Structure 1
């Protein structure tokens, strides 16, 4: 039975990946930094390793005798301090890589992010050859730096691969409560007309892609993956929230106005060191208000990746409390 170690096992993707691996016959251990996280991963069938990605003792214990490491741990926050994100994404990844190499791990699969090419301009059909000349937020900068470490560590005895999904969604999405609260408070507005197109990554598809990367991925390579469909942003968000019985109001703010408001809000948040996030900031406009389409042709060709779940099937799962 193949042993694998997962960081970020109690996160959104991890909670879907663990049962998939268990079902496939893998022996899974997962990093968990709190008692609630320990309870989650154990309930899913994994052996919990208490600690975080900057805890050498925990990582050493987790990678021992593991053939594959799935490094999922990350903090999806586009307004967090770059130092905080650097410590988690870059320093944490460096530690997991080094301990994996020492332990004789042979496969290292990293959960990257498609946002590492977002540059504030519309992006259409970008493939793995597309390189952004300007990254706006600390999350994308540090995810790209961490991915670089992963791919540069590739060797004949240590195969490293990165998967770059776009917006990850699906059952158990931790962002939904926050979005629903924003709607309740009247803070939800579409940036621009909401008619721009994006690609998405259902959590089921992301997990299947991670598994395919472990089985078939070429070392030192990264792969974009998507649900295989381009969706109109406004339509997708409305359908997504409708699965929770929430209607999205017809409120819009122009991109120009949004950028001005975001700049002012960021200024005050930094000057007065306010806690939390401003209702609007520049990276949010980049993520929610601009066309973003990547091509996953390389993953489909090299990994045999396919859309295991269509957008409509994913929405149906969201509507079904039994699933």
Structure 2
């Protein structure tokens, strides 16, 4: 079977991807930076390889002999705009270059719908909507710029494909759900507006399904959205997520306009002053929590043969179970 390199393998998506790749017989290497990450990927059946996205030589060594790379590593929150750019843009550029020099045949990049965001609602968007490397949000801007690099790198011996999931969730999540629970416990949770806008979501198993299909069938140089198949009311879904952990969602609301002003003020101060902690409210949090984001996945269905393999109800049931 194929030798595969996975970056971000100790993370939520990367870990689930490794388990699926191992299950179907691939040899998997995983980029790691710590002993804890090495132990995690080794426990999943992958071979840990010590390297950093800022280390071109280490990346070339990690990619040597691999036929396929899944690039799932990314900074998702925390840090300055420069740190987002270093990790998500320069790091991606280094990985692309290393993969090409190592003779990798196909490079699959984990993108995001956030690469289209700059404060506007995303309503039934598809892959024709422009990327926003000019976004006010550091995550959005850096992921848009990274995707541009990946798609421009297609050709000259290596094919590249991008998969864009939206609102990744499921059992094993170490970021989204724990953060929501922590905000409720700390009394810092509020709905922006009334929270009744529509949103799309993507269970982690559906993300992995999309990644494998992108690797096998994706047209070189193309991007594909994947979701759970249909949108849901944001407030209803988050309430259900919290309930799986025995946490009741508060009724408290903050007007969207006020939240936007608070985020803009905080982002400006944090860029101007030498502050290390994250602002209390940032652009991405406001946009994700307060703006509609619905996605047309016709392209993935048509070209990849993608269909969700796990329903929301199945995913919520897993989260409610002790094993979840």
Q: TM-score, normalising length from structure 2?
A: 0.95
- The corresponding residue for 1:85 is 84
- The corresponding residue for 1:228 is 229
Q: CA deviation at 1:156?
A: 6.0
Q: CA deviation at 1:197?
A: 0.3
Q: CA deviation at 1:50?
A: 0.9
- Change over 3 Å in CA distance of 1:65–1:284 after alignment to 2: same
- The corresponding residue for 2:183 is 182
Q: CA deviation at 1:269?
A: 3.9
- The corresponding residue for 2:99 is 100
- The corresponding residue for 1:14 is 14
- The corresponding residue for 1:30 is 30
- Distance of 1:129 and 1:212 partners within structure 2: 20
Q: CA deviation at 1:294?
A: 1.2
- The corresponding residue for 1:172 is 172
- Change over 3 Å in CA distance of 1:62–1:303 after alignment to 2: same
- Distance of 2:267 and 2:156 partners within structure 1: 46
- Distance of 1:199 and 1:171 partners within structure 2: 18
Show structure 2 runs of 5+ residues with no match.
none
Equivalences for 1:91-240 in 2 at 5 Å?
91-131=90-130, 135-155=135-155, 157-175=157-175, 176-240=177-241
Q: Tell me the SS of whatever aligns to 2:92.
A: helix
Q: Tell me the SS of whatever aligns to 2:187.
A: coil
Alignment RMSD? 1.5
- Distance of 1:60 and 1:197 partners within structure 2: 43
- Distance of 1:273 and 1:233 partners within structure 2: 35
Equivalences for 1:284-299 in 2 at 5 Å?
284-299=285-300
Q: CA deviation at 1:32?
A: 0.5
Q: Tell me the SS of whatever aligns to 2:194.
A: coil
- Change over 3 Å in CA distance of 1:90–1:272 after alignment to 2: closer
- Distance of 2:120 and 2:23 partners within structure 1: 41
Q: CA deviation at 1:264?
A: 3.5
**Retained in 2: the 8 A contact 1:189–1:253?**
yes
- Distance of 2:118 and 2:294 partners within structure 1: 13
Show structure 1 runs of 5+ residues with no match.
none
- Distance of 1:113 and 1:93 partners within structure 2: 14
Q: Does 1:307 align with 2:308?
A: yes
- Distance of 2:127 and 2:30 partners within structure 1: 30
Q: Tell me the SS of whatever aligns to 2:69.
A: strand
Q: Tell me the SS of whatever aligns to 2:96.
A: helix
Mean CA deviation greater in 3-12 or 133-142: 133-142
- Distance of 1:189 and 1:305 partners within structure 2: 35
- Change over 3 Å in CA distance of 1:156–1:303 after alignment to 2: farther
- The corresponding residue for 1:253 is 254
- Distance of 2:169 and 2:83 partners within structure 1: 24
Please list the CA deviations of residues 11-45 of structure 1 after superposition, one character each: whole Å capped at 9, or x if unmatched.
Answer: 11011000100001100000000000000000000
Q: Tell me the SS of whatever aligns to 1:49.
A: strand
Q: Does 1:319 align with 2:289?
A: no
**Retained in 1: the 8 A contact 2:267–2:282?**
yes
Q: Tell me the SS of whatever aligns to 1:61.
A: helix
**Retained in 2: the 8 A contact 1:136–1:283?**
no
- Distance of 1:59 and 1:228 partners within structure 2: 36
Please list the CA deviations of residues 64-89 of structure 1 after superposition, one character each: whole Å capped at 9, or x if unmatched.
Answer: 11110001110111x53221111111
Q: CA deviation at 1:132?
A: 5.3
**Retained in 2: the 8 A contact 1:187–1:279?**
no
- Distance of 2:270 and 2:108 partners within structure 1: 36
Q: Tell me the SS of whatever aligns to 2:201.
A: strand
Mean CA deviation greater in 178-187 or 201-210: 178-187
- Distance of 2:151 and 2:266 partners within structure 1: 37
